[in-house]
């Protein structure tokens, strides 16, 4: 039986269409997915992301442990609340998960991981921690719910819904968080829009959600979350990368930090040895149809594959992220096999849309 978030009853009462996502019973849409998408690009929408897992890592060895655990370098973080996006790799350089690490102090970090990989991640981290000999404890925070409020009016509507929160969060820069009482407010998201991700005790989730609805924030399902992140050119674990794909082949080289040559991290040797053999670019379908994941792409430089595809509500065209040969460049004409037909597509550099605007 699928797990339920603290907002399950709220979603059902709102008439959400519930589906299984990574073992969780989640709302895919409440009404029109396209309207939910536009609400986020144009105004403010929110997502229950309580299926994702928050972890708290604390102890004298926390910083050293994370520097060896993930491919990005937490030594970049020195400002309290600052966030870092990173991949956690296996020894072969494949992506175990992509995650966000918030710096609280050199001895205290909050980590947010994907739902579908949460158990695997915790087991991996605990095993690495035990083997490292470093002093730190990893706490699983299933006592916390998460609500992502996204859109150009997301911050102001959050402040209207949660009186007193503005003082704690108005000064946050992008990718920075602060505590406001029991609520952890992060100026982060997965939509290409401004907004907050709120992490809060589970017993406050339903009342906070209701206050946000009253402030004019539209409940949005995972369907809109997927089209928004794809338009924003953001990778989805399990689609765009997994434990058999290197971040260098998944368009995530920018998240791998080789600067400190003395730093070793799991997977580094494999990344250095193998380098990049593919690249990730965007596709816009020029013929009629819809791009989906795992469709074959034919280019002048060889074959590639779509990793995520959908209909873009902002562009009103079909778009995809594709893993393509290194010789392909933005502007190239390619073909995609859709149900046995080769349809024309154009290569573009993602993102497709961000901050309410088409980018291509």
Partner 1 sequence: MSNPTDLRYTASHEWIRVEADGTLTIGITDHAQEALGDVVFLELPEAGRVVAKEEAIAVIESVKAASDIYAPVAGEIIAANDAAVDAPESVNADAYAAWLFKIKPANAADVDTLLDAAGYEATLG
Q: Indicate the residue among 176 and 307 with the shorter CB distance to partner 1.
A: 307
Instruction: Report d(CA 133, CA 136) in Å as an integer.
Output: 9
61 binds partner 1 (CB under 8 A): no
User: Which residue is listed with tokens 């050119």?
Assistant: 233
Applying the rule CB under 8 A, the residues between 332 and 351 that interact with partner 1 are 339
196 binds partner 1 (CB under 8 A): no
- Judged by CB under 8 A, which of 311, 314, 321, 348 binds partner 1? 311
- Judged by CB under 8 A, which of 223, 267, 282, 350 binds partner 1? 223
Q: Indicate the residue among 76 and 344 with the shorter CB distance to partner 1.
A: 344
Site string for partner 1, 227-266 (x = CB under 8 A): x---------------------------------------
> How does 49-83 read in b/e, with b if 16+ C-beta sit within 10 Å?
bbbbbbbbbbbebbbbbbbebbbbbbbebeeebbb
Short-list 143, 168, 141, 146, CA closest to 155: 168
Residue 30 CB, nearest approach to partner 1 (Å): 11
Residue 117 CB, nearest approach to partner 1 (Å): 22
Short-list 306, 300, 311, CA closest to 337: 306
33 binds partner 1 (CB under 8 A): yes
Report whether 103 contacts 178 (CB < 8 A). no
Angle at 80 between CA 78 and CA 81, to 5 degrees: 120
Report whether 208 contacts 220 (CB < 8 A). no
Residue 217: which residues within 8 A CB-CB, separation 6 or more? 44, 45, 46, 149, 151, 154, 157, 158, 161
Q: Indicate the residue among 219 and 267 with the shorter CB distance to partner 1.
A: 219
Range in contact with partner 1 (rule: CB under 8 A) among 51-59, 114-122, 283-291, 328-336: 283-291
Q: Indicate the residue among 14 and 290 with the shorter CB distance to partner 1.
A: 290
310 binds partner 1 (CB under 8 A): yes
Range in contact with partner 1 (rule: CB under 8 A) among 61-69, 85-93, 289-297, 320-328: 289-297
Range in contact with partner 1 (rule: CB under 8 A) among 25-33, 48-56, 189-197, 344-352: 25-33
Report whether 57 contacts 106 (CB < 8 A). no
Instruction: Report d(CA 191, CA 29) in Å as an integer.
Output: 16
295 binds partner 1 (CB under 8 A): no
Residues that bind partner 1 (CB under 8 A): 17, 28-29, 32-34, 223, 227, 288-290, 292, 310-311, 313, 318, 339
């Amino acid at each position: 039986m699928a797990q339920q978030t603290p907002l399950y009853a709220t979603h059902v009462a709102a008439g959400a269409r519930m589906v299984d996502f990574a073992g969780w019973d989640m709302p895919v849409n409440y009404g029109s997915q396209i309207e939910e998408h536009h609400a986020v690009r144009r105004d403010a929408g929110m997502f229950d992301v309580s299926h994702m897992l928050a972890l708290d890592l604390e102890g004298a060895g926390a910083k050293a442990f994370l520097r060896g655990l993930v491919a990005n370098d937490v030594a970049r973080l020195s400002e309290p609340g600052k966030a870092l996006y990173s991949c956690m790799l296996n020894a072969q350089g494949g992506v175990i998960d992509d995650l966000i690490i918030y710096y609280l102090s050199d001895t205290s970090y909050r980590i947010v991981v994907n739902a579908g990989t949460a158990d695997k991640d915790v087991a991996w981290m605990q095993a690495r921690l035990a083997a490292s000999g470093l002093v730190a404890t990893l706490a699983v925070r299933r006592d916390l719910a998460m609500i992502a409020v996204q859109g150009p009016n997301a911050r102001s509507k959050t402040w209207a819904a949660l009186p007193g929160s503005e003082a704690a969060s108005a000064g946050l820069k992008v990718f920075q968080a602060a505590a406001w009482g029991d609520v952890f407010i992060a100026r982060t998201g997965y939509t290409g829009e401004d907004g907050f991700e709120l992490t809060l005790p589970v017993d406050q989730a339903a009342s906070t959600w209701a206050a946000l609805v009253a402030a004019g924030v539209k409940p949005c399902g995972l369907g809109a979350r997927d089209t928004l992140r794809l338009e924003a050119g953001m990778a989805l674990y399990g689609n765009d990368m997994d434990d058999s794909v290197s971040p260098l082949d998944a368009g995530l080289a920018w998240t791998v930090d080789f600067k400190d040559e003395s730093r070793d991290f799991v997977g580094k040797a494999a990344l250095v040895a193998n380098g990049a053999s593919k690249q990730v670019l965007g596709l816009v379908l020029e013929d009629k149809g819809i791009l989906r994941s795992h469709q074959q792409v034919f280019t002048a430089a060889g074959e590639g594959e779509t990793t995520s595809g959908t209909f873009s509500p902002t562009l009103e065209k079909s778009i995809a992220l594709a893993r393509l040969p290194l010789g392909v460049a933005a502007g190239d004409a390619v073909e995609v096999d859709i149900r046995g037909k080769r349809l024309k597509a154009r290569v573009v550099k993602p993102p497709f849309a961000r901050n309410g605007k088409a980018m291509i």
